[in-house]
Amino acid sequence: MARKRKNTICLPCKQTYRNTARDRLHAFWEVFEKEDEVLVIINADPDALATALAVKKLLRYRVKSVTITHPNEIRRLNNVAMVERLKIPLTRLKSVKVGDYSKKVMVDSQPDHLPCFEKLKIDAIIDHHPMGGKLDAKFVDIRPEYGATATMAVEYLRAAGMKPSVALATALFYAIKVDTHDFEQKSVLADGISFRYLFNIANRDLVRKFELTDLRRSELKYFTIALAELKFSKGRYYSHIGRVRSPDVLVIVADFLNHVGEIDWVFVSGIHGEKLVVIFRCDGYRKSAGKLADRIFGSLGSAGGHKGAARAEVPLKNLNLGEKEFTSDTLKRFIMRHI
């Protein structure tokens, strides 16, 4: 006996369609008309950027124009490299007259994710984050079990019979890698299928360049400081770098030091603005960086993470240092009280 196909409800519009990529695609297309000028709204990161590009391709020849806009400044060097090397056309939300666009699409986000999104009237939402508040859109496709929205975008493209260009495939491939943490975190079989489909189309050398683009030349000095300040004790590294332009450099230094074979723990700290930022690294085997970070700094600021990686951010005023400077030895003393 033939198995019945399960129907899906497209909330909140109560539109019922069969749960296939083709049905979802046609339900999405039905939102638009030939004369529509479409605004695709994202909070720019690799997954959002890649999915927005896929939506632009899906709507080609079906609408008058498609513009991708974002409110956030793109600062991470990996993301800057992605935008520049793939020549992704972007417009800042603050420079856009939203009312000039007849249809608005939001991908990899929802209206309740940012204050600047809350008053926008969205016509279509495609996302993999859990559903937030009430959604008033004609089309909603939210699948929180998926590791990346880019996976959903690949399914739409394949249902439409549209093979992605090398640039689009590269963006989607990178997005899936980033959001699933190379499949070390949440993902489903669909993520793996989409990833494998893109494997021979994407420029994987370019993806590697995105992944490696972490540092500015001016930030190489932090490695010199980190090594000069490095303290070693009982299989643990401690290094305080001082004031940093971005906390991201602390992560990069900590990951670098974590490559040393006989080291069990790495603690790297620095000051950004008026906060002390501490990065924790370990192998996660019979250890928990997240629990240790919370135990040491949880009462002083925000702290937590996973077994192998964690982070703490503490307002300097909460450290009660007086006239003393925070140093690698200070970091070591903080850690040693709790480890």
Mapping DSSP onto H, E and C, the string for 227-282 reads HHCCEEECCEEEEEEEECCCCHHHHHHHHHHCCCCCCCEEEEEEEECCEEEEEEEE
Tell me what the mean pLDDT of segment 233-256 comes to.
Answer: 94
- The verdict on domain 218-336 having CATH code 3.10.310.40 is yes
Domain ranges for the chain, please list them. Answer: 7-212, 218-336
Cite the DSSP H helix spans in the chain: 21-29, 46-58, 77-85, 149-159, 166-179, 189-199, 204-212, 221-228, 248-257, 289-297, 328-336
pLDDT at 178 over 60: yes
Q: Which residue has the higher pLDDT, 45 or 17?
A: 45
Question: Which CATH architecture group holds 7-212?
Answer: Alpha-Beta Complex (3.90)
- Residue-wise pLDDT for 24-71, tens only, equals 999 999 999 999 999 999 999 999 999 999 999 999 999 999 999 999
Interatomic CA distance for residues 263 and 234, integer angstroms? 9
pLDDT band for position 4 (cuts 50, 70, 90) = very low
